[in-house]
Chains A and B, each alone.
Chain A
Amino acid sequence: MHSIFKQWWWKIVGLIFLTIIIIGGLYLPLNPGIINTTPDTVAIGEQVELKIQTYNATFSKEDNHIQAYIKSKKHILQADTAFVIDANQVAAIFTIPYEIDSISLTNTSFDIIVLDEEHGTLTERNAIQVQNTNIEALDMKSVQSATAPTVLKAKKFGFPNREILQESIRNLFFHVPMWFGMVFLLFFSFISSILYLGKNENKFDIYAASAAEGGLLFGTLGIITGMCWATFTWGAPWPNDPKLNGAAIAMLIYIAYAILRKSISDPIRKAKVSAVYNIFAFFIYLAFVFIYPRLTDSLHPGNGGNPAFSNADLDNRLRMFFYPAVMGWSILGFWLVSLKIRYKFAHQKLIEIES
């Protein structure tokens, strides 16, 4: 184990991964998306021009293949015409009928869909609401639901532009790997503690203590990055979410471990007692991080049943950066811990020489 700490190849690999995700993850653009649509309420029978504000799009006035739809759960309606105002603004004219497929549109909310070959399909959910005003002015027109447009992907490479998340989706490469790093380091610490109790070798105690410190650092970074993300997407830095609470408790457990180590002066007793606490705590930590969020509803992706990322949340473009990010940050964590371990060994040698 100790010789691996001194080798350099895995550190280079980690640095390459981190360079890729820091440059690529922050520099590559997001796919185009819709920011907002005005007006957000329309009346039945009205012919309305919707102004659709987009983000990161490069529409040109010559482009006349642009299509716009509004879509509710039951029906879909194509725009009479759709045209480009400027690179990030599209207008679409809709005639709102009285009913589609003989179902009244009163108080229905519609998603708006804009698509062309170049930018793919852009959607904003619940963009407009139909209100039953102006009852005299309308011709009681009933139309058939249009066929749903095929979902197109953007031609240029870009990260998915999700509502609510928007640019903050890049935090996936920083926030989530922190938890992976924390779990790996704490698992390393747990194994070292078991080995210490089995073999009574001092080096395993140093491994366990250093890895727990590294895990605590990664947990703190995970909470900080998570709080930034939560403020942006959920509107509050600390919503009552089982994963957040679990993470906070996990931090308390390992801070208690650090305090326990500080409070014992005899080195052998310190090693033994803290190894016992570390093993005991790790099982409860596992329950907190992996079992507790599955049993309660969470705001996190895959809430309720499964806290892992599902295919819908993580598409291939994100995966290309997410897996290197997990590896890169975890390697950085082990690198930090290996430095700490080597420092502690050196410190110990120094004390031996002096005495």
Chain B
Amino acid sequence: MYGIASVILYVVAIIVVLYLSLASQGANKNIEVKYWNVLFWIMLLFAAINTIAKSFIQENSSKYLYYYSLVSPLAIILSKMIYNALLMLSIAIVSALLFALVLGSPVQNIGVYFIVILLGALSFSFLFTLVSSIASKAGNIGLTAILGLPLIVIILIYLMKLSREAFFAQTSENFFKTLGIIILFDFMLFMLSIILFPYLWRD
């Protein structure tokens, strides 16, 4: 519970900073849709890095040894990924609501937007869970950002493209193409994570 509360507070704090920064420039009213979109995803990206980076550091080493004797690495990575995905989904929903509250919402098609947010949460979770386990094995939590950021860029671009579809009542013909690319990507990340994680765990 403490973890979730701190993450929500982190997101709220970022949005307050963002809002006050925009207001100081007189840009908080009628913000252009494309900038709204970019700000939202960048904020979500940093929330994801900050949240998921901690997922392997929090536990101390005696707890690790206990897990190691008790469960398979597959169970660990799956549970971490599912937990992180749910966490990211709730963060995304909270921040979308807050964004709508303080900056107004350009979203026309809530169903599509929910799908995009769900896929975003899955992508962030699949990618950063493995990267944070790599960083924790390297003994440096700060590595998560520099290892993960170049890897996430391509997915982030497609997520931003797809979420533009939610700003119009009708989806364009590219919708399913972009959706398919993201789903394929998520599947690839998921498979790579569950294949590679046991090698890290067996240390």
Residue of A nearest to B150 (CB): A252
Q: Identify which of A259, A264, A276 contacts B200 (C-beta below 8 A).
A: A276
Query: Measured between C-beta atoms, what is the minimum distance from A285 to chain B in Å?
Result: 9
Whether the Cβ atoms of A253 and B143 lie closer than 8 Å is no
The smallest C-beta distance from B117 to any residue of chain A, in angstroms, reads 22
Q: How far is the CB of A245 from the nearest CB of chain B, in Å?
A: 9
Give the distance to chain B from A270, nearest Cβ to Cβ, in Å.
Answer: 8
Known: A197-B199, A249-B153, A288-B154. A273 touches B143 (CB 8 A): no
In the complex, what residue of chain A is closest to B202 when comparing beta carbons? A272
Chain A residues 278-306 with CB under 8 Å of chain B are 279-281, 283-284, 287-288, 291-292, 295
Size category of the A interface is 20 to 34
Q: Is the CB of A263 within 8 A of B199?
A: no
Does B171 sit within 8 A of A, measured CB to CB?
no
CB-CB < 8 A to B21: which residues of A?
none
Q: Given contacts A256-B146, A275-B199, A279-B192, is CB(A284)–CB(B151) below 8 Å?
A: yes
For A198, the closest partner residue in chain B by CB is B199
Segment touching A, from B44-52, B104-112, B131-139: B131-139
B173 within 8 A of A: no
Q: Does A187 sit within 8 A of B, measured CB to CB?
A: no
Q: How far is the CA of A291 from the CA of B196 in the complex (A)?
A: 23
Contact call B154/A260, Cβ cutoff below 8 A: no
Contact A259 B143, beta carbon cutoff 8 Å: yes
Q: Could you say which residues of chain B place their CB within 8 Å of the CB of A275?
A: 199
Q: Chain A contacts of B151 at CB under 8 A?
A: 253, 280-281, 284
Contact present for A276 and B134 (CB under 8 Å): yes
A276 near B185 (CB under 8 angstroms)? no
Q: If the complex has contacts A260-B134, A281-B151, are A273 and B192 also in contact, measured as CB distance less than 8 A?
A: no
The chain A residue sitting closest to B142, CB to CB, is A263
Bound complex: CA A287 to CA B150 (Å): 12
User: Does A277 belong to the interface (CB within 8 Å)?
Assistant: yes
Q: Contact at B137–A269, with CB atoms within 8 Å?
A: yes
With a cutoff of 8 Å between Cβ atoms, the chain B residues found around residue A253 in the complex are 150-151
Least Cβ distance of A63 to chain B in Å?
A: 55
Q: Contacts of B147 on A, CB cut-off 8 Å?
A: 256, 260, 277
* B72 at interface, CB cutoff 8 A: no
Whether the Cβ atoms of A269 and B150 lie closer than 8 Å is: no
Which residues of chain B in 53-73 are interfacial with respect to chain A, using CB atoms and an 8 Å cutoff?
A: none
- Encode contact with A along B189-203: 1 for CB under 8 Å, 0 otherwise: 000100010011001
Interface residues in B148-203 (C-beta closer than 8 Å to A): 149-151, 153-154, 181, 185, 188, 192, 196, 199-200, 203
What are the residues of chain A within 8 A of B149 when measuring CB–CB? 252
Do the beta carbons of B130 and A287 come within 8 Å of each other?
no
In B65-96, the 8 Å CB interface with A consists of: none
Q: Which of A259, A260, A279, A291: most chain B CB closer than 10 A?
A: A260
Minimal beta-carbon separation of B181 from chain A (angstroms): 8
Say whether A283 contacts B134, CB under 8 Å.
no
Chain B residues, CB < 8 A from A281: 151
Most central of B147, B149, B203 by chain A CB within 10 Å: B147
Question: Which are the 5 A-B pairs with shortest beta-carbon distances?
Answer: A252-B150, A253-B150, A273-B137, A276-B196, A284-B151
Which residues of B pack against A, CB within 8 Å? 130-131, 134, 137-140, 143, 146-147, 149-151, 153-154, 181, 185, 188, 192, 196, 199-200, 203
A-B contact pairs, 11 of them (CB 8 A): A249-B150, A249-B153, A263-B143, A273-B134, A273-B200, A276-B134, A276-B196, A279-B192, A280-B130, A280-B131, A287-B185
> Can you add 11 more A-B contacts, CB < 8 Å, to A256-B146, A283-B188, A292-B154?
A197-B199, A259-B146, A260-B147, A263-B143, A264-B138, A269-B137, A275-B199, A276-B130, A279-B196, A280-B192, A280-B196
